Structure 1
Amino acid sequence: MSESSRKQLARWHLILGKFSQPQFPNSLTPEQEQMAAALEPLYSRSYQGRGVRQDARLEKGSLDPSQLNVPRWLNEIRELFPRQTCERITSHALERYGLTELVSDPEILDSLTPSTELLSTILSLKGQLGNEVMGAVRRLITQVADDIRQRLEQPIRNALTGKLNRFQRSHLKHSSNFDAKSTIRRNLKHWDPQRKQLIVESPRFFSRVQRHLPWEVILCVDQSGSMVNSVIHAAVMAGILASLPLLRVKLVLFDTSIVDASEYASDPIEVLMGVQLGGGTDIGQAVRYCEQLVVQPRRTIFVLLSDFCEGADPRLLLSACHRLQEAGVKTLGLAALDETANPWYDEHIAGQLAAHGMEIAAITPNEFAHWLAGEIQG
């Protein structure tokens, strides 16, 4: 057998785990045997609950998933695998298999690759974490929030702070600013008669003029566990909106209690450090609280971000939303506000709110910005 075939066989053995042993006997080197032994207690958890019997020959305390010694296992992983592979394995351990022991050590938490998925997991566990890891949690929140903000801020600002100025050119080259007529006129001299094509050497773009937005946006955000990705994006979105001129943002977080985080709306890091996911849900109580925040109803947009799983009397929720609409407040119910917009929510309650006049949607932050701009422009 060639060396490349042996390596390929070893990879399949490591991927398939102990169940490949009868098909691939003696396919691993001693070091690869150590790798397989280190991977087995984690990835064999995928078979639990599927009717697959654990090997009775496993020694107690060795490969049995229920006997995994997390600190010792982590040391083995670090010794056996490259850093990038080690980070991926530890991320799987936390996000897929719920090994919460991993985040009790700030060094481990700092070593994980920041991502929205990792932050979602950490926020879900935050109530169980000790003070010694809160510095690492803050660093993770900062990295993820900054990453989301860098992706979203410019498109959102473009949507909300300016309209096209068709009398002034711009060096900002974006498809939404493209001036087709001026581009064609300026490049007519580059017409290729043989190919019958216009060669565009100098595309033209409109600039934007700022407009004042004397509007108030109230973001009412459900802290249910199912909403964690949307909570993260809502916190970043609130920070971006709060930085826009003459646009006031109120931020309210709720479960069965209410936290008015409006003071920190411009700081997503502080907002997310204060998030407490889980518990019951009283949406109606939160909406009634937000009613009190309305100063100019016809210049107010109320956004309810929730899975609509109401734990209290839904009639109180429906009547509160109806009062907002009757007063002239524009209302939007969001079942999701993240970059996938793929929600799970109570369709019955959402349908009742829609029947009472609230627009219901699951959208990305960019889509929300364009919706918001449309409502403000009237």
Structure 2
Amino acid sequence: MTDDQERLRRWRLVLGGGDDGTGAGLSGTDKRLDNALSALYDAPEPDEEPDRRRTGGLGGSAPRVARWLGDIRTYFPSSVVQVMQRDAVERLGITRMLLEPELLAAVEPDVHLLGTLLTLNDVIPEETKQTARDVVGQVVGKLEHRLAERTRSAVRGAIDRATRVHRPRHGDIDWDRTIRANLRHYSAELGTIIPDRLIGYGRRERVVHRDVILAVDQSGSMAESVVYASLFAAVLASMRSLRTSLVVFDTQVVDLTELLDDPVEVLFGTQLGGGTDINRALAYTQTLITRPLDTLLILITDLHEGGARDQFLRRVHALVDSGIQLVCLLALGDSGTPSYDHDNAAALHELGVPAFACTPDLFPDLMAAAIKREDLTHWAQRNY
């Protein structure tokens, strides 16, 4: 194929339709690939006027949807398949592929599709529930593989540094740091270092060093954040040096702490959608705080408060005055700049509470910085 022919072929696939002006025809794999694209992107959107609608679409046939899901997995890489699946749900309203076992089993699991699935939790037929759990389990497994050990390592390292002592027992001496801190005391005559101070670790595994509370907004716009926050809460709960609580809220508050040994159960315990009452959620978290100076409260919300704003801000002020460490994450995900209430974010800043979005890959570093009691506003400025 000449360069000109290849260029026309690519334009034909981009533009779609036989009257696109390229004069190029398609056959074989290209034609099947074009059909898969046309079924989605040449189909009418729900709010499109009738006289502007084009042909195409997946129709109401479950077998046709199943074939389409198989086709896109054949012709496109996983990352593109995930985008097309999201577009199918959003553009065509094909929630049926999340409600029927054979269709749900054919999807490419990803965080965004998982969020959509969780919003349908109450309407998933009984025969589909196990398939839904399998899909959620696949996503959780991938995320744990990517993020869990890094989170544990970052938090352990921060606790180690935060609990170092200078009169350690022999078994608690950090020999590497002790030697480096005492190099100037090397004795040539003895051929060794004579340390004037020892650096060691506290007995960190036998005590809880920090109480961590994640309060997560489960309104519909926060689906991705709910997924990641649930995973991180489960990881943090597995560490004996932390006491971790997970609270999710909309206009009601649900404590999911008892489910943290199984992140899949945590996710099915959420109820995405509904309004937002941050003030009520913070009122509940106050009942969990027994050691303010050793408590880190991570509020994950876009700050679109539907409750009493003045009470919400007064409660934040009280929490800060009590000595807890409070940070607001406007989003916890990979979807770019979030939509959030700028006035409430500014109000939190005035109260000394940093408010910023955080990606999952940076969350372990955020936890480490918080445990070391770094200024999280400056941390965010360095990392974003």
TM-score by length of 2: 0.74
> Which consecutive unaligned segments of at least 5 residues does structure 2 have?
165-172, 184-199, 377-384
Give the Cα separation in 2 of the matches to 1:375 and 1:215: 11
Give the Cα separation in 2 of the matches to 1:34 and 1:326: 63
| Paired position in structure 1 for 2:370 | 372
Could you tell me whether the CA contact under 8 Å between 1:253 and 1:261 is conserved in 2? Answer: yes
Deviations 1:114-168 (Å, cap 9, x if unpaired)? 2222212322333443222221221122121222222222222222223369954
Indicate how the Cα distance of structure 1 residues 241 and 81 shifts in structure 2: closer, same or farther if over 3 A, else same.
closer
Select the residue among 314, 324, 341 that pairs with 1:346.
Answer: 341
Indicate how the Cα distance of structure 1 residues 114 and 33 shifts in structure 2: closer, same or farther if over 3 A, else same.
closer
Could you tell me whether the CA contact under 8 Å between 2:65 and 2:103 is conserved in 1? Answer: no
Give the Cα separation in 2 of the matches to 1:86 and 1:372: 38
Deviations 1:245-293 (Å, cap 9, x if unpaired)? 1311111110001111111123211110111111111110110111111
1:325 aligns with 2:316: no
Could you tell me whether the CA contact under 8 Å between 2:69 and 2:106 is conserved in 1? Answer: no
Alignment of 1:1-378 (within 5 A): 2=1, 9-10=8-9, 12-18=11-17, 20-25=18-23, 27-29=25-27, 33=31, 36-45=34-43, 54=52, 63-65=55-57, 68-74=59-65, 76-77=67-68, 83=74, 85=76, 91-98=82-89, 99-162=94-157, 163=160, 167-168=174-175, 211=204, 212-339=207-334, 342-363=337-358, 364-375=362-373
Give the Cα separation in 2 of the matches to 1:119 and 1:361: 24
Instruction: Kindly provide the amino acid, as one letter, of the partner of residue 355 in structure 1.
Output: E
Could you tell me whether the CA contact under 8 Å between 2:174 and 2:201 is conserved in 1? Answer: no
| Paired position in structure 1 for 2:197 | none
Give the Cα separation in 1 of the matches to 2:79 and 2:155: 38
Could you tell me whether the CA contact under 8 Å between 1:45 and 1:97 is conserved in 2? Answer: no
- Identity across aligned pairs (percent)? 28
Could you tell me whether the CA contact under 8 Å between 1:238 and 1:266 is conserved in 2? Answer: no
Could you tell me whether the CA contact under 8 Å between 2:66 and 2:103 is conserved in 1? Answer: no
Instruction: Kindly provide the amino acid, as one letter, of the partner of residue 354 in structure 2.
Output: E
How many residue pairs match? The answer is 335
Could you tell me whether the CA contact under 8 Å between 1:301 and 1:330 is conserved in 2? Answer: yes
* 1:312 to partner: Cα distance: 1.1
Deviations 1:316-347 (Å, cap 9, x if unpaired)? 11121222222222211111223566322111
Supply the RMSD in Å over aligned alpha carbons.
Answer: 3.6
Give the Cα separation in 1 of the matches to 2:260 and 2:273: 21
Indicate how the Cα distance of structure 1 residues 374 and 28 shifts in structure 2: closer, same or farther if over 3 A, else same.
same
Indicate how the Cα distance of structure 1 residues 90 and 54 shifts in structure 2: closer, same or farther if over 3 A, else same.
farther
Give the Cα separation in 2 of the matches to 1:40 and 1:123: 28
Give the Cα separation in 2 of the matches to 1:12 and 1:241: 50
* 1:93 to partner: Cα distance: 4.6
> Which consecutive unaligned segments of at least 5 residues does structure 1 have?
171-178, 183-206
Could you tell me whether the CA contact under 8 Å between 1:251 and 1:262 is conserved in 2? Answer: yes
* 1:241 to partner: Cα distance: 0.9
Indicate how the Cα distance of structure 1 residues 89 and 236 shifts in structure 2: closer, same or farther if over 3 A, else same.
closer
Could you tell me whether the CA contact under 8 Å between 2:246 and 2:257 is conserved in 1? Answer: yes
Could you tell me whether the CA contact under 8 Å between 1:6 and 1:27 is conserved in 2? Answer: no
Indicate how the Cα distance of structure 1 residues 145 and 53 shifts in structure 2: closer, same or farther if over 3 A, else same.
same
Could you tell me whether the CA contact under 8 Å between 1:87 and 1:112 is conserved in 2? Answer: no
Instruction: Kindly provide the amino acid, as one letter, of the partner of residue 281 in structure 2.
Output: A
